[in-house]
Chain A
């Protein structure tokens, strides 16, 4: 192949992918955007389980009077419509450690891909937020979330979906998320996802004996904005390590791409069958007439 035809072929291939790449979708953002998602790094070695983040979260989300119960070791508490973040304690091979649990703010969230009204939104800044005026309460986001995070107010006649918003409102005003601001041990660090991945790796490389060599959230379900580093393997701390690295919305793209194909090809196909059937029934009638 000479150079000219090579260039031609390559540019043709490039052109042909434009319609595919140009049709960008919410939930699948360009790499350049992804770099600048805001994120939070949780360093489990530094957390002392003081629950300051829980109280700060309750206050920031208009629920200051709620009194969270104390955790028990190895008993998993879940987030609820009141508590958008909780601390759990685990007895591990290297002693007792505490894990903060909340929405992971996935890069390509299943809840956003699930939502048929755009009520669940992955903002450009990174937080996944929910819009009350759009939601119809179908709870498909809850069904789809691999971390069991969105919570629904079953006792209300005008229910809300409750989940951590990474304090998106505070971020807009230049403030830190409430939990990060109130963490006394700097176990929580706020920054861009890119910076925090670097920071996490730096900590692991500089203290290789103190950390398990993995960042939870780096690539689980396509990557998340909450990143965890830990002294012990993550399965000891109640993390779901069975989750794949493929982003969940990708499991539906095959079907979704098939829909317009079927919509355009099936009707003419049916017309064809109908024409054939008509021709056949005429023929049999003719044969019957001849007989």
Chain B
């Protein structure tokens, strides 16, 4: 059995290269409006990246001594990671809680998460002053064990591996290695457990980065509970992203989906909406408790206080009410609107912590440069192009027919 597997692997490796090269060719029309826009933005992004590395960060960004972190950290990394939280939540629901209903969206969600992490990590390299030293905390010549950032970096890196392994059965299926797929399926359950643990910690860890900024972050946002708030909000941020992405995929990739998938889509959206509503109740409650706990109520009638109130009312309470109402009355479009509003709310919340309410007591302000915005768009478009390349080729939306057999192997592994 083992020998066979080895032989298979060898043959697979050989065939894989040939197969991979043939798959590199584009499928479908090349000259579409989307491709044109994407190519332009990505090309411009590459030019900006070139100048960033040639002349330093100051040549393309508005970063300053008072605002060392701007859009690339505040949006690309800190917001992006929250958006990618869907993967650990969905794997938790499917593999741990055995909510079979969500089986069909596991692969696309994990793939989305994996790509998000890869590209946000890439965006992080753009932001690092000395990116060639990025391996230092990993290879161990200098472990900053007491740094929250150290923990985040490690959990980030390990989680990327875990997500890759969770998605890898689809890759094995793509180039037709049943044995490998079976083996990878066997370890899925373990990687899911590790992945959820890692996610919990690095989602919270991104919040914990701001624990030491007590004198810089506005009291309405600074709290010792910020890691917990970041973790809880990553749950509904991730699920809202799954809802929005699912609705877009349903239109764009509808020919790749089985009729079954189409049929269950609405059911899934309502299920996710319900979970979002519940978790958002918890989050809203936590925020209120933290507000009372922090003795910062007197800031509420300042401009930033009003901004805080609008974040809470329009981007937490309103989508929460919309989720609740639309789940009860089966209103699909309203759920999607609620999900989009939630995502905007997460962007606002994360930017508040990293940029807007940061250095609130200083006269200096930071606004991103057009290059920072452009390069952010380039990263997003690059991710979409890679996502499309994979989705068109690999069995992401529909597992092949032997899926029943696979499920048995998952069960036995657990």
Measuring CB to CB, which residues of chain A are less than 8 angstroms from any residue of chain B? Answer: 25-27, 78, 80, 110, 113-119, 133-140, 142-144, 146, 148, 151-159, 240, 242-244, 248-249, 251-252, 254-256, 259, 262-263, 266-267, 270-271, 273-274, 277-278, 280-281
Contacting residues, chain A, for B68 (C-beta < 8 A): 139, 142-143, 152
Given A138-B128, A159-B56, A266–B65 Cβ distance below 8 Å?
no
Q: Which of A80, A134, A148 contacts B142 (CB 8 A)?
A: A134
Whether the Cβ atoms of A263 and B57 lie closer than 8 Å is: no
Contacting residues, chain A, for B153 (C-beta < 8 A): 116
> Considering the complex, which residues of chain B in the window 202-217 have a beta carbon less than 8 Å from any beta carbon of chain A?
204-205, 208-209, 211-216
Whether the Cβ atoms of B53 and A157 lie closer than 8 Å is: yes
Whether the Cβ atoms of A248 and B196 lie closer than 8 Å is: no
Whether the Cβ atoms of B96 and A117 lie closer than 8 Å is: no
Expressed in whole angstroms, the Cα–Cα distance for A119 and B144 within the complex equals 8
Whether the Cβ atoms of B96 and A155 lie closer than 8 Å is: no
Q: Number of contacting residues on B, CB 8 A? A: 61
Q: In whole Å, how far is B139's beta carbon from the nearest beta carbon of chain A?
A: 11
Expressed in whole angstroms, the Cα–Cα distance for A135 and B216 within the complex equals 23
Q: In whole Å, how far is A186's beta carbon from the nearest beta carbon of chain B?
A: 32
Q: In whole Å, how far is B292's beta carbon from the nearest beta carbon of chain A?
A: 20
Q: In whole Å, how far is A106's beta carbon from the nearest beta carbon of chain B?
A: 12
Whether the Cβ atoms of A142 and B65 lie closer than 8 Å is: yes
Q: Does B133 contact A (CB under 8 A)?
A: yes
Given A136-B134, A152-B65, A113–B147 Cβ distance below 8 Å?
yes
Contacting residues, chain A, for B92 (C-beta < 8 A): 270
> Considering the complex, which residues of chain B in the window 143-173 have a beta carbon less than 8 Å from any beta carbon of chain A?
143-151, 153
Chain A residue nearest to B192 in the complex (CB): A270
Q: Does B98 contact A (CB under 8 A)?
A: yes
Whether the Cβ atoms of A270 and B215 lie closer than 8 Å is: no
Contacting residues, chain A, for B97 (C-beta < 8 A): 273-274, 277
Whether the Cβ atoms of A255 and B193 lie closer than 8 Å is: no
Q: Which of A80, A116, A133, A270 contacts B96 (CB 8 A)?
A: A270
Q: Does B201 contact A (CB under 8 A)?
A: yes
Given contacts A115-B149, A116-B147, 5 further A-B contacts (CB under 8 A): A136-B136, A146-B216, A251-B224, A255-B211, A274-B98
Whether the Cβ atoms of A256 and B197 lie closer than 8 Å is: no
Expressed in whole angstroms, the Cα–Cα distance for A143 and B68 within the complex equals 7
Q: Does B129 contact A (CB under 8 A)?
A: yes
Measuring CB to CB, which residues of chain B are less than 8 angstroms from any residue of chain A? Answer: 53-59, 61, 63-66, 68-69, 92, 95-98, 127-131, 133-134, 136-137, 141-151, 153, 189, 193-194, 196-197, 200-201, 204-205, 208-209, 211-216, 224, 227, 411, 414
- Considering residues B127, B137, B151, B227, which has the most beta carbons from chain A within 10 angstroms of its beta carbon? B137
A-B contact pairs, 21 of them (CB 8 A): A26-B146, A114-B147, A117-B136, A117-B142, A134-B136, A135-B133, A136-B134, A138-B129, A144-B213, A146-B215, A152-B68, A154-B56, A155-B55, A155-B59, A157-B54, A251-B211, A252-B212, A255-B204, A263-B201, A270-B193, A274-B98
Chain B residue nearest to A240 in the complex (CB): B215
Q: Which of A27, A117, A153, A267 contacts B194 (CB 8 A)?
A: A267
Given A27-B146, A138-B149, A152-B129, A266–B200 Cβ distance below 8 Å?
yes
Q: Which of B137, B201, B224, B411 contacts A117 (CB 8 A)?
A: B137
Whether the Cβ atoms of A266 and B197 lie closer than 8 Å is: yes
Expressed in whole angstroms, the Cα–Cα distance for A114 and B68 within the complex equals 14
Whether the Cβ atoms of A154 and B134 lie closer than 8 Å is: no
Whether the Cβ atoms of A256 and B148 lie closer than 8 Å is: yes
Contacting residues, chain A, for B63 (C-beta < 8 A): 154
Whether the Cβ atoms of A263 and B137 lie closer than 8 Å is: no
Contacting residues, chain A, for B55 (C-beta < 8 A): 155, 157
Whether the Cβ atoms of B130 and A159 lie closer than 8 Å is: yes
Q: In whole Å, how far is B329's beta carbon from the nearest beta carbon of chain A?
A: 28
Whether the Cβ atoms of A137 and B130 lie closer than 8 Å is: yes
Chain B residue nearest to A274 in the complex (CB): B96
Chain A residue nearest to B61 in the complex (CB): A154
Expressed in whole angstroms, the Cα–Cα distance for A155 and B141 within the complex equals 28
